[in-house]
Structure 1
Amino acid sequence: MTIRPLSFTKIKTVPLSKRKVDSDGKDFAAPYKAGTGFENFLCSLPNLGCAGDLFLLRDAIVSAHRHGHQVFLACGGHVFDSGLGPLICRLIEQKVITGIALTGAALEQDVEIAMLGQTVSASERALSDGKYCITEETGCLINDAINYGTGENWGIGLSVGKRLMESELEHLDHSVVATAVRYGIPITVHPAIGADAFGMHPASHGESMGAAGFRDFRLLAGMMAEASNGVIINIASSVIMPRVLLQAVDAARNVGKNIENITSAVIDPGASASAITDVVTRLSQPDGKGYWLSGPDEILVPLLFASVLEALGDEII
């Protein structure tokens, strides 16, 4: 059998006027003129793709703030490795962020920042003899706080936050957990037993961690019950936080809470398919909107919230 090249003489064409517009010239980027300020820089960005979604997410945050609705952040450990902790602390102080949920890895990083002003590389946690290294001071502080807080019926976030506030650590003002407790906003931690190093520390007790972690999940469900017309942003957590957020919303709805018009977003260049499905699609259903900003959090998070603050101007305390 001989295969012959296909003739295109009968190909059907359509005029440009019949084609759907993909991008309009008014949304194209423009050159930025040096020295004209941040607002003009934002105007120079294209209103398309990731930049266009960033502007829509900005508008949702600004609207939520102005109308007294919630703006929640859910963070993985990379958020703190990227140096974003102090920025989030200031957003809490300015009442832009109204609730925080962290993975266990994020909690560890936050505590190390409070202690040292820096985070410890995971690649350096192996000792020279090949054994896995569990950091003494980090594990002691976290587990002592949890073990005490369980008796007070506190969750992990509140327990560690109060312990940090009682300390005299040099870099406490850079701790998101301590700042959240200081300003009275809900802070929850969702550990993965067997994955988080502090859970393998000699001071760790499964009973305390389980009780405190479960209380934090119930608190997160309570936060989700108040999320109508608000914004939920998952940053740099592809596995734990997307599922925990979705389950918390499902739990709140299961007990009769009416949750509507949620704006949800994932900021993560390597977001998993399940993270995008759970947060961007399912979390915002049935009447909200979801966005995936597929760039590095160390660039997109400061840019997003700088644009929020620029829009709010004198409305910020």
Structure 2
Amino acid sequence: MPYPKFNRDKLDIKRLIDRKSKVYIERDHIPVNQIPLNLSDSVILLINQTVARIKRARELNRSVILAFGAHTIKNGMAPTLIALMKEGWITHLATNGAGIIHDWEFAFQGKSSEDVRENVNLGQFGIWDSTGFYINLALIVGAYEGLGYGESIGKMVHREGLDIPETSFLYEFARNNIESKPEQVAAAIDFLGVINHFSIPSGFMKIPHPYKKYSVQGNAYEMKIPFTGHPMFGHDIIYTHPMNHGAAVGRTAENDFLCYAQSVSNLENGVYLSVGSAVMSPMIFEKSMSMAQNIKIQYGEHIENHYILVVDLAESNWNWNKDGEPPMDNPAYYFRYCKTFYRMGGEMHYLTADNRDFLLALHQKLK
């Protein structure tokens, strides 16, 4: 017998427009020409080395992947990330579910970030109409269309809306394609259930995004540069909304993981930048690198000349590139994300810096 489940339909969902937000994108974004601060000579030397490796990777048409945590978006770094894409330096961006949400909220309403302590106490944290409704619906639409997680949201931002088919079309599609396209039929049936449950009218659903110029995933979609989302179920505020649909999350996130793994498979003489992501980035990288090596080895090849730079605020005095993996009695051994990336082969460095200063310096030196 199934375990009892929480009924999200009973939630009192407040309007997003009434939420107090702490970050306003027009006021708080970081201009691309802002001078980075607090960078030591040794840090600048490592950034210069990274710049040289990125330029070489692009000359060789190899992957330059930037994976980052949500604070990179929340810190107002969208202009720099967009510039790195437009100028051709970055070939793939990856973030977690929170990064997707902050980017979307900035595009939709120009502000994001709520007071967690206050709103949990009020029984209101994350329980907002527009964020939960539109992001989840975009994922349901994207799952039916065969898109990825970040791609689904980026498309909604870029087009400022979603295509909602007639229910009769979805019924007919399901009947006619159950054997030839079972995955898409399953997604179509899920879509049907959501349309009926929420009485969603067919046609183009207009969803204005007046601040979409600040959306990294919207710009990535327009430029056809992969921007992949790598969520963990239950981690993000969209899971509080009744529109949330696990199958759609799974389908789109799987597509993005495989897209990411494809980029990792092109990392020989390429560059991987992991900025402020202690869990998502190292975890998806090690699985993708293992799959990529599996295929390369079958063809007598091996990925071994890749360059990894890990950037975070935590101080570390251990030189991973020079001294290797520390012994288990050294606290540096438990610097989990560095340990993971060090074991991935290639050349790995760790840099202590604020993501704003690092990305500003990186872009300005590349340019």
Report TM bin, short chain: 0.7 to 0.9
Q: Counterparts of 2:115 and 2:296 in 1: how far apart (Å)? A: 42
> Are residue 260 (structure 1) and residue 304 (structure 2) matched?
yes
Q: For residue 352 of structure 2, what is the amino acid of its counterpart?
A: S
Q: For residue 336 of structure 2, what is the amino acid of its counterpart?
A: S
Deviations 1:252-274 (A, max 9, x none): 22233642311111111138711
> Are residue 302 (structure 1) and residue 302 (structure 2) matched?
no
Q: CA deviation at 1:46?
A: 6.4
What residue in structure 2 maps to residue 223 of structure 1? 263
SS in 1 for 2:111: coil
| Aligned equivalent of 1:210, options 250, 254, 259 | 250
What is the 5 A alignment of 1:164-243?
164-167=157-160, 168-243=208-283
What is the 5 A alignment of 1:1-317?
47-48=41-42, 50-123=43-116, 126=119, 129-167=122-160, 168-256=208-296, 258-270=302-314, 273-279=335-341, 281-283=342-344, 285=345, 288-309=346-367
Q: Report the TM-score, using the length of structure 2 for normalisation.
A: 0.67
SS in 2 for 1:126: helix
Contact 1:79–1:297 at 8 Å: present in 2 too? yes
Contact 2:69–2:95 at 8 Å: present in 1 too? yes
How many pairs align?
263
Q: Counterparts of 2:279 and 2:215 in 1: how far apart (Å)? A: 24
Q: For residue 192 of structure 1, what is the amino acid of its counterpart?
A: M
Q: 4+ residue runs of structure 1 moved beyond 6 angstroms?
A: none
Q: Counterparts of 2:227 and 2:363 in 1: how far apart (Å)? A: 20
Which one has more relative contact order, counting CA pairs under 8 Å at least 6 apart?
2
Q: Which runs of 5+ in 2 are unaligned?
A: 1-32, 161-207, 316-333
Contact 1:267–1:295 at 8 Å: present in 2 too? yes
Cα pair distance change 1:46/1:88, threshold 3 Å = closer
Cα pair distance change 1:55/1:128, threshold 3 Å = same
Q: Counterparts of 1:46 and 1:207 in 2: how far apart (Å)? A: 47
Q: Counterparts of 2:236 and 2:288 in 1: how far apart (Å)? A: 21
Q: Which runs of 5+ in 1 are unaligned?
A: 1-37, 310-317
Q: Counterparts of 2:106 and 2:292 in 1: how far apart (Å)? A: 33
Q: CA deviation at 1:308?
A: 1.3
Contact 1:114–1:169 at 8 Å: present in 2 too? yes
% identity of equivalent residues: 26
SS in 2 for 1:290: strand
Cα pair distance change 1:122/1:237, threshold 3 Å = farther
Q: CA deviation at 1:125?
A: 6.7
Q: For residue 303 of structure 1, what is the amino acid of its counterpart?
A: A
Q: CA deviation at 1:131?
A: 4.4
Q: Counterparts of 1:159 and 1:130 in 2: how far apart (Å)? A: 29
Q: CA deviation at 1:223?
A: 0.9
Contact 1:77–1:105 at 8 Å: present in 2 too? yes
Q: Report the TM-score, using the length of structure 1 for normalisation.
A: 0.77
Contact 1:125–1:133 at 8 Å: present in 2 too? no
Cα pair distance change 1:263/1:123, threshold 3 Å = same
